[in-house]
Structure 1
Amino acid sequence: MAWTGRFSDFDDVSQNVQSSDRRAKYPRNDILKNATVTRLEDLHPGITNPTVAGLILTKDSPKSIQSKKNPGTERYLLSFVLRDAPSCFVNVTCWGTELGIKDIAAKFAISDTVQLTNVQVQPKSYDGYDDKFKPSTPMSFNITFSENHSNIDHYLGPEADFFRGLQNVPIKANNDYYILEDVIAHGQSLSGEHINLLTVVKKIGPVKDITTKTGKKTRRCELKLMDETCPSFALILWDSDIIDIAQSWVALDTVLFIADVRVSFDDFRSTMVSTADSKTIFTVNPDTLEAHSLYQFAHSQTFDDEDGTGQSDPPLESITDVYTVSQLINMKNERTDQWKPTVYGILFAYISQFDVDGDTSRVLRYRCKKCRQTVTENAGYTCSNQECSNGILNAFSSTIDDTHPSVEYSVSVSVSDHTGTIDYCHLDGEVAQGLLGIKAEEFAQIPFQRKTEVKWSHLLERRKMHFKMSCSVGDTGKVFLRALSCHSVDAKEFQYMAQ
């Protein structure tokens, strides 16, 4: 059936569609396979009744809206994303009766290969709706499917295996994601944003039936995620097909590239969490170097408790590879140009720059006790995160004990050996406190002269340092060198200090 124009005539279709009519909408695949399939990259608005095929990347639950054409009646729709090439995927919206749309939703699932015939190609809207509520796609158009005019069935053609292989290819660049440590550390600037994550499933919680304040019944499932920088991070799933799919994921065996997941600050937990919504697309066990490295890391960890809140870094005694400073410099330069896996090792070197008697902001870091957001002296050490209860309290009062910040070490040092010097090695928290032997709260109060004495007691002293070198968000080229321990060198280890 040839047709043009917008889909609206289905509003007049009776709710009591006969089963024979429904079968006509989904003909046998031996009929559909004779249709000429048009690639998504070759589509454009105005093309007449094309046939397209591909993989269902993600799918929403059926929804209803009030019909503008027939007040008092409802229109039903189903949205999913269709992909036929690594860089070609598009939003598809199916319109029809309640029975017809629910039938499509039950028949086709995420990761199915499907063929759509007689669809309409429409330009993306510019009212902001697509950007806010639909997955971001590289195409300049959307596809509309009408129950009255279009056909859909499973695709069994020659490219079915190719389409299925696309489910392991992330829709974003392999290195276009945040590490969880950065999400937690930069909560104020990221809260409410959609970002990409590469994580391992650590724990899958039970599916819970929820009744909202408005009486709507829905489902909720919470997962715990992890990566090399964070042992536990919450992902919340609401009523959608992905909840059922998540039940088949295996803890520590399933790696997820999560595109456009919403992150926000959870005031009750005093930390950042993530929530999958209508924009989110999951790539399960992506076939990338970064994913394989993360999988290996997850299997190298041991967890002592049910919640899996064990360490994210390996035990120090298991780190045995020794590096020189020049090797660290080379590794850092490599990671600036492209993502590479995290490296753990041992360095024997001198602390050649240790400005603990300089600007206090370069030695100590103040954090909100609730959300761990960094606070500054210029802002009166008050939390500016409006989603944090301290941020709200600080707007009205500065006398509440919980609003007083915590203080911790955050020292950047330079270390040297016979091969060179590397700057910006971070000594944080307990590592710096163990080296200095002074609590951070006390260090803030000692006089300048005493700080200078502490500085010179550690400069040019031989040290054994366990380190971790990791990449931040892939497209920033930022590399972190962090000391996991820093101790004096004993006589047996002195050989590593020789040229």
Structure 2
Amino acid sequence: MACFSSEKNFVALLDLHPNLARPIVLGIVIGKTDVRGFPDRKNVGSERYTFSFTIRDSPAYFINAFAWGKEEYIKSLSESFRVGDCVVIENPLVQTKDTEREEKFNPTTPSYYKLLISEVHSVVRIRASCEVKPSLLSLLHLPTKESHDYYSLHDIVENGQSLDGKVINILAAVRSVGEPKCFTTLDRRKGQRCEVKLFDETVSSFAMICWDNESIQLAESWVPRETVIFASDLRINYDNFRNSMVGTVISKTIITANPDIQEANILSCYVREYAETGVLDEESDEQARDSVNLQSIVDVYTVQQLKVKASQLEDKTSTVYGIVYAYLSTLNVDADIGKIVRNRCSRCRHLINESNTCTYSFCNDMSSDAKSVITSFNLQVDLTDHTGTLQSCNLSGNVAEEVLSCKVNKFLTLTEEQKTALKWTLLLERCKIYLKMFLSPSGRNGLRVTLLSCKIADPVEAIRAFPDKENFEYSLIFNS
């Protein structure tokens, strides 16, 4: 039985005007800013606090609301709801907005008005979830701009610095959400920064920066490699340090997660297919090798302990970094070359087929930018210690070249006898291995284990890592 309460007393946002007496409005929160303090001109030495949010009650109508008051009231009110909640606002002041001035810093809305909320006259309360109609919840998946009004990431990259400082709309998938990093400004204000990596059919990685707590909390709710976002009014800048374009979430920005539009559905299908190829996992491995400081990885595991850890991983965002002292018990460098070396398109990272053509048709239909073939190692190895064997671990890229002491191009010139000789210089050598482990649909048994470093272990260091030294030394024979 539905528990929707009567809505006959609510005024639709479309029908708002300044002459209404004690209006009550209801809507889904689709955007929200952080609390800020300002010097109070009427009371010198004191501050007034404010934050704003945007509510929507229909596909065509949404409006900005501004709450003003003392610090305790404003902070308490802000913390009482988030983007995605349904709120009821009683007795707000309906005021005609100064479109040119206000929409420079706030979301662009179709309403001629804005709502002002004060501690003395207004009440804001959250609507119970069972009282929210599905039609209202569906508004969370409807962009505030036309579904076709957006730039692809390729458009942004191609236009380069001509878009510097512009505010535009984008449609993209979430590749990863970084850990929020705290900082303190020169005037001792504390803040946070979170970097979200986006991608689409045209660009494999594009940075979007979130500076405020509200957008960071929203970003943390997104599922990498699954969530698609439509970001309305995202600021684009050229980053000299990165030598590339980046997006920044600003007070005007409204982000719609998993928008219910055809363009997003097409992108979602692409994301699923792209994830199945394992390319995203490979690129994640490359990023980990480049960004992770091996000295920060200190946890030592046995193979059995890693298997237990794997069974405890909860979702795709859970990652285990660790060290294992183990043997390379399988290293098939003398297998078919197609199982050892992989050729990918430099533009979209899809596989190159035997006729030297990218297997992703959209890439071939794109602009005639120069593209080349990226050749790299892509080996599957087994790791064995005295507790068991971890099968089909990924040894690829630069790490594989370091382990084999051989570049890909040089490897391709080796004879079968030379490859076999190379194999036996490494096989069954006890190594100190730094690895990364996470859930992946493209990995063996839904698990991906990637070697970040692999070097011959110092015997004394390896033995000290395990109390049962004798078992560690000799039980390999019975486990391999």
TM-score range, shorter-chain basis?
Answer: 0.5 to 0.7
**Aligned residue in 2 for 1:314:** 350
**Residue 34 of structure 1: CA displacement?**
7.7
Q: How does 1:336-485 map to 2 (within 5 A)?
A: 344=362, 427-430=368-371
* 4+ long deviations beyond 6 Å: 32-35, 307-310, 318-321
Question: 1:61-82, CA deviations, whole angstroms, 9 ceiling, x for partnerless residues?
Answer: 1111111222222111121001
CA gap 1:162/1:425 in 2 versus in 1, 3 angstroms:
closer
**Aligned residue in 2 for 1:180:** 153
How many angstroms apart in 1 are the aligned matches of 2:153 and 2:349? 14
CA gap 1:215/1:315 in 2 versus in 1, 3 angstroms:
same
CA gap 1:320/1:48 in 2 versus in 1, 3 angstroms:
farther
The residue matched to 1:429 in structure 2 has which SS?
coil
Question: 1:285-317, CA deviations, whole angstroms, 9 ceiling, x for partnerless residues?
Answer: 111111111111122222323267786363343
**Aligned residue in 2 for 1:39:** 12
**Residue 343 of structure 1: CA displacement?**
5.4
CA gap 1:53/1:306 in 2 versus in 1, 3 angstroms:
same
Contact 1:232-1:308 at 8 Å conserved across structures: no
Contact 2:51-2:68 at 8 Å conserved across structures: yes
Alpha-carbon RMSD: 2.8
Q: How does 1:231-250 map to 2 (within 5 A)?
A: 231-250=204-223
The residue matched to 1:133 in structure 2 has which SS?
coil
Query: Which of 128, 145, 149 is the aligned partner of 2:121?
Result: 149
**Residue 207 of structure 1: CA displacement?**
0.7
CA gap 1:292/1:313 in 2 versus in 1, 3 angstroms:
farther
Task: Name the amino acid aligned to 1:429.
Answer: A
Contact 1:231-1:308 at 8 Å conserved across structures: no
Contact 2:173-2:200 at 8 Å conserved across structures: yes
**Residue 159 of structure 1: CA displacement?**
5.0
How many angstroms apart in 2 are the aligned matches of 1:35 and 1:77? 30
How many angstroms apart in 2 are the aligned matches of 1:90 and 1:161? 20
How many angstroms apart in 2 are the aligned matches of 1:259 and 1:34? 30
How many angstroms apart in 1 are the aligned matches of 2:139 and 2:156? 28
Query: Which of 271, 283, 306 is the aligned partner of 1:305?
Result: 283
Number of positions where the alignment pairs a residue of Structure 1 with one of Structure 2: 304
The residue matched to 1:291 in structure 2 has which SS?
helix
Contact 1:202-1:308 at 8 Å conserved across structures: no
> Does 1:106 pair with 2:79?
yes
CA gap 1:241/1:345 in 2 versus in 1, 3 angstroms:
closer
**Residue 318 of structure 1: CA displacement?**
9.8
Q: TM-score, normalised by structure 2?
A: 0.59
Contact 1:203-1:307 at 8 Å conserved across structures: no
Contact 2:163-2:237 at 8 Å conserved across structures: yes
Task: Name the amino acid aligned to 2:127.
Answer: Y
Task: Name the amino acid aligned to 2:86.
Answer: T
CA gap 1:425/1:130 in 2 versus in 1, 3 angstroms:
closer
**Residue 221 of structure 1: CA displacement?**
0.4
Query: Which of 267, 270, 274 is the aligned partner of 1:294?
Result: 267
Query: Which of 137, 142, 146 is the aligned partner of 1:164?
Result: 137
Query: Which of 200, 214, 228 is the aligned partner of 2:173?
Result: 200
Task: Name the amino acid aligned to 2:258.
Answer: N
How many angstroms apart in 2 are the aligned matches of 1:96 and 1:318? 68
CA gap 1:343/1:40 in 2 versus in 1, 3 angstroms:
farther
Contact 2:86-2:132 at 8 Å conserved across structures: no
CA gap 1:64/1:235 in 2 versus in 1, 3 angstroms:
same
Contact 2:161-2:245 at 8 Å conserved across structures: no
Task: Name the amino acid aligned to 2:141.
Answer: N
Contact 1:319-1:345 at 8 Å conserved across structures: no
How many angstroms apart in 1 are the aligned matches of 2:270 and 2:214? 29
How many angstroms apart in 1 are the aligned matches of 2:91 and 2:188? 39
**Residue 125 of structure 1: CA displacement?**
1.6
**Residue 241 of structure 1: CA displacement?**
1.5
CA gap 1:46/1:308 in 2 versus in 1, 3 angstroms:
farther
Q: How does 1:43-58 map to 2 (within 5 A)?
A: 43-58=16-31
**Residue 138 of structure 1: CA displacement?**
1.0
How many angstroms apart in 2 are the aligned matches of 1:68 and 1:286? 43
The residue matched to 1:199 in structure 2 has which SS?
strand
Contact 2:215-2:249 at 8 Å conserved across structures: no
Task: Name the amino acid aligned to 2:219.
Answer: A
Contact 1:46-1:122 at 8 Å conserved across structures: no
**Residue 133 of structure 1: CA displacement?**
1.1
**Aligned residue in 2 for 1:137:** 109
